A and B are shown apart, each in its own frame.
Chain A
Amino acid sequence: MSFVSAQNIFQSYDGRPILERVNLEVDEGEFISIVGASGCGKSTFLRLLLAQEQPSRGAIRIGGAVPAAEPGPDRGVVFQKYSVFPHMSVRENIIAGESFRRPLGRFFGAAKKAARARADATLERIGLGHVADAYPATLSGGMQQRLAIGQALAAKPRILLLDEPFGALDPGTRLAMHDFLTELRAAAPMTVFMVTHDLAEGFKLGDRVLVFDKPRWDPHDPGAYGATITYDFDARDDGIPFQTIKEVANVPDQT
């Protein structure tokens, strides 16, 4: 069985179907980009992966475990906004990645010192060492998102979920964030799901690009059907799939 497995997922709000028949198998270490029209349910799918919501039908398993009932430290997340804690300094935000699972949410004594040292090492690595004592509001958007990713990774999640993490950044900062994310993955392989509305970004960063769309469409009632994964592109090797494609004769299209 694959690492992350979503089987026959349906989700509807107030009887309105948003997602239908979503099936997905993901191997450990894969980077999955998710693209699709605005409002088609990408964030909904991410919330399901996060276990922030339960699907109306179907189940999502990570590592074969029972489906989670609520978000936990095995799933890290970075949203477009509100991803760091505004009342904590940059360093405290990183420490929170480890300390929030403690009984009082804090380290004390020697453990506190050690966590502080680890946080400072992390901050150096992600290029935020010089602003360790600043509050997030004083940081640029790119630095805030870098901090958010660093904080999520400090908790050592099994999968990392990114919902349009660079959506609010200017193009230059966005490119720098791509390099940042690529470096992090080179240093420590991790399974990532990233929603983006930038197709090029999806292909650049992803191993696979999933397209969410409505396979059925009723012109008289646009909300009648939900979206599903309509394409599952191989995006390795700069998205030029014929380099590795295996031709399988007499088998209908898998997607």
Chain B
Amino acid sequence: MRFINRRPGLALGVFLAALPFVAVLVAYIIGSQMRLAENPSDKLLPAPATIAQTAERLFTTPDKRSGRILLWHDTAASLIRLALGVGISAVLAVIFGLLIGLQPHMRAAFSGFVSVVSMIPPLAMLPILFIVFGLGETSKVVLIVVGILPFMIRDLSQRVIEIPREMIVKAETLGASSGVIALRVALPQLLPRLIQALRLSLGPAWLFLIAAEAIAADQGLGYRIFLVRRYLAMDVILTYVAWITALAFAMDLMLRWLSRRAFPWSEAAL
């Protein structure tokens, strides 16, 4: 049988899926033990037990000075920035996606512009954003928007253009105005695509969030990681990285679930 046609059974499939995780974990444990055996005060690869202790402390013990549990505080601050940036981008992307996808003048005016703007490396804009918007919340939210909006507009306008012409013409023959076509034909078919675009944009959104927090912030997940870096607190950094990964993964799951729940018609075709 050809190599490409061989398939794993159920048990083997589960085993293979778990394999990379286990391999990374084992490699870490071995490395950590080797280093700690040589130098018990080594900070680079703390033992898993140490990380677990640190994690428990971070999640449950209030900070001595402020009396707040910093991890939850950082999480709230970061999630608010992320939600604002992603939410604003989603709304703008839908509006511009519909305009560019449906209206030839808008397409002529904006599609080239958006393509060029999407080539600007967002992080190169960060100093400008700090100068213009200050070091507060605005510049962080704007960085996320600047980072993901051009891609989302390009993606969504392309999706609108891909709506079969027949369907638009059909709506015209039912007497629909441009607005009704946008609202009742294009928008509902765009929403599942929006969720896909959001899923793709969440990775970059996190990247820009953490970058902005690392450079100028007084709370937030990215701020904390870069703060404790000075003390080589690997146990704290690893806990935060795992926590951020879990958050990102949960968001992705949520969006997938939402897509299936909210748009049964697009699932029905499969």
Which of A73-81, A124-132, A191-199 is the interface stretch? A73-81
A79 touches B184 (CB 8 A): no
How many angstroms between the C-alpha atoms of A84 and B173 in the bound complex? 12
Q: Which chain B residue has the least Cβ–Cβ distance from A151?
A: B174
Interface residue? A137 (CB, 8 A): yes
Label chain B's interface by main secondary structure.
Answer: helix
How many angstroms between the C-alpha atoms of A101 and B176 in the bound complex? 5
Interface residue? B266 (CB, 8 A): yes
A86 touches B189 (CB 8 A): yes
Per the 8 Å Cβ criterion, residues 156-190 of B in contact with A are 164, 166-167, 169-177, 179-180, 183-185, 188-189
Interface residue? A100 (CB, 8 A): yes
Q: Which residues of A contact B170 (CB under 8 A)?
A: 77, 79, 82-85, 148, 152
Q: Which residues of A contact B167 (CB under 8 A)?
A: 82, 85
B266 touches A77 (CB 8 A): no
B166 touches A87 (CB 8 A): no
Q: Which residues of A contact B185 (CB under 8 A)?
A: 85
A73 touches B164 (CB 8 A): no
Interface residue? A52 (CB, 8 A): yes
Question: Contacts A87-B266, A105-B180, A105-B184; is A72 near B189 (CB within 8 Å)?
Answer: no
Question: Contacts A85-B167, A87-B188, A87-B189; is A101 near B269 (CB within 8 Å)?
Answer: no
Instruction: For the complex formed, measure the closest distance between the CB of A174 and the CB atoms of chain B, giving whole angstroms.
Output: 20
Per the 8 Å Cβ criterion, residues 65-116 of A in contact with B are 70-73, 75-77, 79, 81-88, 96-97, 100-106
Q: Which residues of A contact B172 (CB under 8 A)?
A: 70-72
How many angstroms between the C-alpha atoms of A83 and B180 in the bound complex? 17
Interface residue? B12 (CB, 8 A): no
A72 touches B166 (CB 8 A): no
Instruction: For the complex formed, measure the closest distance between the CB of A52 and the CB atoms of chain B, giving whole angstroms.
Output: 6
Q: Which chain A residue has the least Cβ–Cβ distance from B265?
A: A135
Q: Which chain A residue has the least Cβ–Cβ distance from B268?
A: A137
Identify A157's interface contact among B173, B176, B179, B188, CB under 8 A: B173
Interface residue? B263 (CB, 8 A): yes
Interface residue? B121 (CB, 8 A): no
Interface residue? B264 (CB, 8 A): yes
Per the 8 Å Cβ criterion, residues 178-229 of B in contact with A are 179-180, 183-185, 188-189
Q: Most chain-B CB neighbours within 10 Å: which of A86, A148, A152, A157?
A: A86
A77 touches B173 (CB 8 A): yes
How many angstroms between the C-alpha atoms of A52 and B165 in the bound complex? 10
Interface string of A114-156 (1 = CB under 8 A from B): 0000000000000000000001111000000000100110010
A100 touches B171 (CB 8 A): yes
B269 touches A137 (CB 8 A): yes
A50 touches B169 (CB 8 A): yes
Q: Which residues of B contact A105 (CB under 8 A)?
A: 176, 179-180, 183-184
Q: Which chain A residue has the least Cβ–Cβ distance from B191?
A: A87
How many angstroms between the C-alpha atoms of A250 and B6 in the bound complex? 78
Identify B166's interface contact among A73, A81, A151, CB under 8 A: A81
How many angstroms between the C-alpha atoms of A83 and B73 in the bound complex? 52
Q: Which residues of A contact B268 (CB under 8 A)?
A: 135, 137-138
B269 touches A82 (CB 8 A): no
Q: Which residues of B contact A70 (CB under 8 A)?
A: 172
Question: Contacts A87-B189, A135-B265; is A71 near B173 (CB within 8 Å)?
Answer: yes
Question: Contacts A87-B263, A105-B183; is A82 near B175 (CB within 8 Å)?
Answer: no
B266 touches A72 (CB 8 A): no
Q: Which residues of A contact B183 (CB under 8 A)?
A: 104-105
Question: Contacts A104-B183, A135-B265, A138-B268; is A82 near B176 (CB within 8 Å)?
Answer: no
Instruction: For the complex formed, measure the closest distance between the CB of A94 and the CB atoms of chain B, giving whole angstroms.
Output: 11
Q: Which chain B residue has the least Cβ–Cβ distance from A136?
A: B265
How many angstroms between the C-alpha atoms of A88 and B183 in the bound complex? 13
How many angstroms between the C-alpha atoms of A90 and B175 in the bound complex? 19
Instruction: For the complex formed, measure the closest distance between the CB of A252 and the CB atoms of chain B, giving whole angstroms.
Output: 39
List 13 extra interface pairs beyond A72-B172, A87-B265, CB under 8 A: A50-B169, A52-B169, A75-B173, A81-B164, A84-B170, A85-B171, A86-B265, A86-B266, A87-B263, A88-B188, A102-B180, A137-B269, A152-B174
A-B pairs, 4 with minimum CB distance: A101-B175, A105-B180, A73-B175, A100-B174
A-B contact pairs, 23 of them (CB 8 A): A70-B172, A72-B175, A73-B175, A76-B173, A77-B173, A79-B170, A81-B164, A82-B164, A82-B166, A83-B170, A85-B167, A86-B189, A88-B188, A96-B184, A100-B171, A101-B174, A101-B180, A104-B183, A105-B176, A137-B268, A148-B170, A152-B174, A157-B173
